[in-house]
Amino acid sequence: MEPAEKELAVGEFRVNYASVGNGEPLLMLHGSEPMENWHVWEPLLALGDSKKLIIPDLLGHGKSTKPTETPDYKAQARMLRDFADKLGLRSLSLMGGGWGGQVALEFALEWPESAESLVLVASSYDKEQLPRLQKLRKPTLIVYAEDDLVTQLKAGYLLRDAIGTSRLEVLDAVSRDPRYDFRMSHRLQKFRAPQVLQLTKSFLANPAAMTSEPPEMENELKGQALRKNADKDGAIWKKE
């Protein structure tokens, strides 16, 4: 599948985005590094087998409008709300990597009626968001690498504890792979693409089945439901 790249006028801005696939919409949001754009999600385009992927260049990135100062996560979320309205999307799932996860959280907090579920990949957050997340109550998959020094694993635990309807999945240390190092582990959509892809597919197939477990049960129960679903589909992912 080759994504179709388009441009949409959203208020004073021009938003470049890619679209591919069929099914319920999944809005995918990249991180904050200056060179990031929709292409960071190319390793996960197979999600388009069951979802309609909508992948914008956030403001200040890629081919979208570049204001003098890149808008903050709140302004990006407001833009995305208007962007979704322009596309006629009344409800969607959101997937965010790094700062894109923070933008996705803000979107879901401000317009919970439009957010069906969330996938947060090495997501950052604003501490102002944490107390508000207690009321979010949206199925949420949180994925981190255990050795990430950019978006540290402790952030994953904080998000898990703040969002009662969430599951945290911790992937192996990236630095153990000689091809990568810890500075890359916050880009799990690229450097751990097979694991992130299978986790996300399993989760999006039935987000409502997502449940949280008490921290003391995490080692025994972490990931069992997702592994069970993956095994049923004939695709098995396990830590080596």
Determine the pLDDT at residue 173. 84
Determine the pLDDT at residue 154. 93
Domain ranges for the chain, please list them.
4-232
The pair of three-digit structure tokens given for residue 110, joined into one six-digit string: 């401000």
Determine the pLDDT at residue 178. 75
Determine the pLDDT at residue 172. 86
Backbone angles phi, psi at 8, to 5 degrees: -135, 135
pLDDT tens over the chain, length 240 residues:
789 999 999 999 999 999 999 999 999 999 999 899 999 999 999 999 999 999 999 999 999 999 999 999 999 999 999 999 999 999 999 999 999 999 999 999 999 999 999 999 999 999 999 999 999 999 999 999 988 878 889 999 999 999 989 999 999 888 777 777 666 667 899 889 999 999 999 999 999 886 554 444 454 444 544 545 545 544 433 333
Cβ pair 51, 19 in contact under 8 A:
no
CA–CA gap between residue 26 and residue 115 (Å, rounded) = 10
Determine the pLDDT at residue 44. 97
- How many other CB atoms are found less than 10 A from the CB of residue 75? 17
Closest C-alpha to 166, from 137, 126, 129: 137
Determine the pLDDT at residue 211. 58
Residue type, 88: G
Cβ pair 62, 40 in contact under 8 A:
no
**Alpha helices (H) along the chain:** 73-86, 99-110, 130-133, 153-162, 188-191, 193-205, 218-221, 224-232
CA–CA gap between residue 158 and residue 127 (Å, rounded) = 10
The pair of three-digit structure tokens given for residue 145, joined into one six-digit string: 């690498």
Positive or negative, the Cα torsion across 22, 24, 76, 122?
A: negative
CATH fit for domain 4-232, picks 2.70.240.10, 3.40.50.1820, 3.30.1050.10, 1.10.579.10: 3.40.50.1820
